[in-house]
Amino acid sequence: MIVLGIETSCDETAAAIVADNRSILGNVIYSQLDEHRVFGGVVPEIAARAHLDILEDVIRRTLAEAGTDVGDLDGIAATAGPGLIGGVIVGAMTAKAMAATRNLPFVAVNHLEGHALTARLTDDVAFPYLMLLVSGGHCQFLAVTAPGRYELMGGTVDDAVGEAFDKSAKMMGLGFPGGPAVETAARLGDAKRFSFPRPMKGRPGCDMSFSGLKTSVRQAILDLPGDSLSEADAADIAASFQAAVADVLADRCVHAIAAFDEKYPGGKTFVIAGGVAANSALREKLTSLCALLGFRCVAPPPALCTDNGAMIAWAGIERLRLGLTDGLDFAPRPRWPLAELQGVST
């Protein structure tokens, strides 16, 4: 089985062709960073127009890289939500048109499920497993037992980790996107200079909170002398902020792993997914923690943590294997909780 996956939920225009033997035959990503950098964040209208302008070329390049034609495909999958609705519509409608003209099955993929199943593409992880999904808009612990079957075990009560990274980076003048900028600056900083809070650390359960940490970063910047932040100050704040995030996630992971292990004693794998999972400091911290707790820690390669077409194609393969397809009347969704997926178990 060979499937084309299309991803346009935010500011990456991406397409990939993946085979059911876990081979990525073609994978093209066009990043819109230059279009949005001047605004310090993603502008939905600009993102949608960029997707519309570039998607056809991205698909052509993907087919050429894979050495395939549309006629060789067994299905077409596209992100149909959640995400910036303008971009989601561009990708979903393109996929529907291709599926209709070639009489191919269409799969409307939940973007979060794409992240959730990536570890099965890269590392052949078996069900069940515990996943920490960390991205710009989502931060949650999920027990993953099958495609379309997710149990929410804990999540953020306010901001997502990725949002905290982005907004803290903006306050420090590190630029956009914030996650990589903070990680780069933190390598040169002193993580002990600023004593930032560890929200919810030590509390029962595995819920998280990051708004207070973000506020503490702002206050630390305001308390510094002078009218501008020096590179050394920014590096120290970045390192201290990143260390606080890592400590919070590690503490919450201990609780999540304990709860998961009690309910699913046969599953000994912990997966980190989403854009923030590309952060090497967080990966190292959680990998070491899992080793102590007797769990295998899996994080996809950084290029497959951020938004990409390969994860959408693979999610399409997983659903097609179960006979799950979608009609061409499927309506793209700006919000689409995993709990609403077909076959969900709660």
pLDDT, tens digit (0-9, with 9 covering 90-100), for 293-327:
999 999 999 999 999 999 999 999 999 999 999 99
Residue 261 tokens read as 């292990």
pLDDT score of 136: 79
CB-CB contact of 14 with 318 (8 Å)? no
pLDDT at 273 over 70: yes
pLDDT at 111 over 70: yes
pLDDT at 345 over 70: no
> If 0-12 CB within 10 Å is exposed, 13-18 middle and 19+ buried, where does residue 239 land?
buried
Nearest-Å Rg of the Cα atoms of the chain is 20
pLDDT at 346 over 50: no
Tens digit of each residue's pLDDT (9 = 90 or more) over 6-54: 999 999 999 999 999 999 999 999 998 888 888 888 999 999 999 999 9
Helices (H), the chain: 33-37, 44-66, 85-102, 111-123, 161-172, 178-186, 211-223, 231-263, 280-293, 309-321
Cα maximum dimension of the chain: 65
Cα separation, 305 vs 263, whole angstroms: 27
What does the pLDDT average to over 95-102? Answer: 97
Q: What is the pTM of this model?
A: 0.94
Name all domains of the chain by residue range, CATH numbers in brackets. 2-116+304-340 (3.30.420.40), 126-301 (3.30.420.40)
